[in-house]
Structure 1
Amino acid sequence: MQNNKKQGVLLVNLGTPDEATAPAVKQFLSQFLHDKRVVDMTRWLWCPILHGVILPIRAPKVAKLYQSVWTEEGSPLMVYSKRQAEKLKQLVDMPVELGMTYGNPSLQTGVESLLAQGVEEVIVLPLYPQYSGTTTAAVSDGLTKAFKKIPVTPSFQFIRDYHDHPTYVKALAESVKRSWQEKGKGDYLLCSYHGIPKRYADNGDIYPQHCQRTTELLAKELGLTSEQIGMTYQSRFGREEWLQPYTDKTLEALPTKGIKKLDIMAPAFSVDCLETLEELSEECREIFIEHGGEAFTYIPCLNDDELHLQMMAEVTRRH
């Protein structure tokens, strides 16, 4: 049955502060850390801690980190996301707009921009390859809130994940091969995924299974054995246990196992951002070298890579 409704695509990412300043970072982190999908603590307990301790201390520190990766065009996450939207628009020949779960442009702004172009059915593509309640489900929650403020809500299709999509895996593999050609092949390829509290996975979040599957498919595509590729989790926060193995602890141990030349990538991130450009590329490099590593190569995210955009076009066309 043919769908005659005018379709449009809403590309969704986590978001970024508007500026690399403490007030802008504080505003962004406040919205992000207020989301129960991200931090599920009781509000009367969490809010005083967040506003009284965490935000006043972390906002200035995080702002300095953002300043180290900020470009003339702005936040790397926003710069690459805009490029993705522009290129995808050409590939699928339909309206494409950005919406961020936190910060600007908001999900509501993105949806309203599509509706203003006559779109009746929105294809929502959260740029999280691996599903997690902390990310993908937060997009769904945000859309529900946005739709409440719109007089006539559009039909919509929600792309839940693409962790095992053949073109996504191929795009990852090709980015690794390019790095090997340009900078040489390391002894080991480490896939570092953003972590979540272990309790979330114990309660049913399927994120770790998706991460494992992506890593397995990438290993197969590259012809790597379990001694040549592995996966870890980064960016843990707070005192409770998160998914393991931890990226930083693994980097400390790898040189003692004879792995002196390391390639590292972040398959869960669709664009380079603070967690990849500062934490992974800089902090993790220091940890590895300090503990006896000799060569550390960070392989950039897929960003606006041609195969990456081709994958986005394929998953949207399917709808």
Structure 2
Amino acid sequence: MSFLPPGHPPIPTPKTGLLLINLGTPEATDFFSVRTYLKEFLSDRRVIEINPLIWWPILNGIILNVRPKKSGHAYEKIWNRELNESPLKTYTREQALKLTAALGKKDQLIVDWAMRYGKPAIADKIRALKQQGCERIVLFPLYPQYSAATTATALDKAYQELQSMRWQPAIRTVPPYYDHPAYIDAVAVSLEQAMKDLPWKPDRVLIAFHGLPREYLNRGDPYHCHCQKTARLVREKLKLSKDFLQVVFQSRFGKAEWLKPYAQDTVEGLPAEGVKNLLMISPGFASDCVETLEELAIGLKETFTENGGDNFAVVPCLNDSTASIAMLAEIASNELKGWLR
């Protein structure tokens, strides 16, 4: 029996939403598509904390006229031709689809995905979930290690949309999962399996995390500590030494000091130390992307072999693997407790 007055718009059955949030990607590899993406990304005050009066002319006068061509070339090398999109978008979509099946509760739960930069936008997805009847939404930033430049800015964007809504959904956020047992297990298993599958034995394994300006650490960002703990727990899980499984930081940008040791410098110098067979893993990324598929698997491989290395490989990210979906489902379920019958 309905108690709605005549002419009242239909009210959807109350549901709960789970929104996966990843970094983002250009819509295409051409100059202007990449420029649009980079402009949004590099204009974020959480990412670039330089005084805007100094940064704006550098960004708009130099970087956005030079970097899109270089970045577009990198994306070209790893682009998903079949779907005409970046692998990051492909894998994030698949994670959402497979999580829907893994979590069940289809009559109560809607799983969706969004990007902090580019499309689909976080604001659009939050509004779409609300329109589908989601009175409660769990935000799940796909960043195992917390940083203001990743997790915080993704949540900022979500909160910004909430500020514009008269009828806000209730919100929960998934905390960083850098030391969650399911995450450590999944990373350790993927590394162990990769070492077994190689036709050669690695002399060293580099566990690479995306870099961050050293100044951000000095200001209190916990990212460096989270990365180090992830690496320590993986070492302990697999009973590996600190010398064998070594932490490095990739993707340095600009002239300021970033977290060390730098991946580029480390890889360049390893052959001279007798390391001829090198394996890399980058567990800070939930999905393979330009930083793993191009920067590591192509760029650093060239660096290693040009300096005397023999064999080089990169462990795939967890992506939409069975272990990945099971891990994401376990973590999400903790935040969904009490919200699903």
TM-score by length of 2: 0.90
Any conservation in 1 of the 2:14–2:133 contact (CA below 8 Å)?
Answer: no
Any conservation in 1 of the 2:248–2:261 contact (CA below 8 Å)?
Answer: yes
Query: What stretches of structure 1 of length at least 5 have no aligned partner?
Result: none
Q: Which residue pairs with 1:86 in the alignment?
A: 97
Post-superposition offset of 1:160? 2.3
Q: Partner of 2:24: helix, strand, or coil?
A: coil
Of residues 41, 47, 62 in structure 2, which corresponds to 1:38? 47
CA distance in 1, matches of 2:149, 2:231: 20
Q: Say if 2:65 is the partner of 1:56.
A: yes
CA deviations 1:116-168 (Å, max 9, x no partner) are 22111111110000000110010121112111233311111111200011111
Q: Which residue pairs with 1:226 in the alignment?
A: 242
CA distance in 2, matches of 1:268, 1:206: 14
CA distance in 2, matches of 1:41, 1:226: 35
CA deviations 1:36-57 (Å, max 9, x no partner) are 0000111122111111110011
Query: What stretches of structure 2 of length at least 5 have no aligned partner?
Result: 1-12, 336-341
CA distance in 2, matches of 1:206, 1:259: 31
Q: Which residue pairs with 2:228 in the alignment?
A: 212
Of residues 58, 75, 93 in structure 2, which corresponds to 1:66? 75
CA distance in 2, matches of 1:153, 1:19: 34
Of residues 290, 297, 300 in structure 2, which corresponds to 1:281? 297
Q: Which amino acid aligns with 2:122?
A: L
Q: Say if 2:273 is the partner of 1:257.
A: yes
Q: Which residue pairs with 1:102 in the alignment?
A: 117
Of residues 18, 23, 30 in structure 1, which corresponds to 2:32? 23
Post-superposition offset of 1:266? 0.5
Q: Partner of 2:166: helix, strand, or coil?
A: coil
Q: Single out whichever of 300-309 and 175-184 deviates more from structure 2.
A: 175-184
Q: Single out whichever of 176-185 and 123-132 deviates more from structure 2.
A: 176-185
TM-score by length of 1: 0.96
CA distance in 1, matches of 2:77, 2:221: 33
Q: Which residue pairs with 2:87 in the alignment?
A: 76
RMSD: 1.3
- The count of residues paired between Structure 1 and Structure 2 equals 316
Runs of at least 4 residues off by over 3 Å: none
Post-superposition offset of 1:180? 1.8
Identity percentage of aligned residues: 39
CA distance in 2, matches of 1:61, 1:230: 29
CA distance in 2, matches of 1:38, 1:160: 20
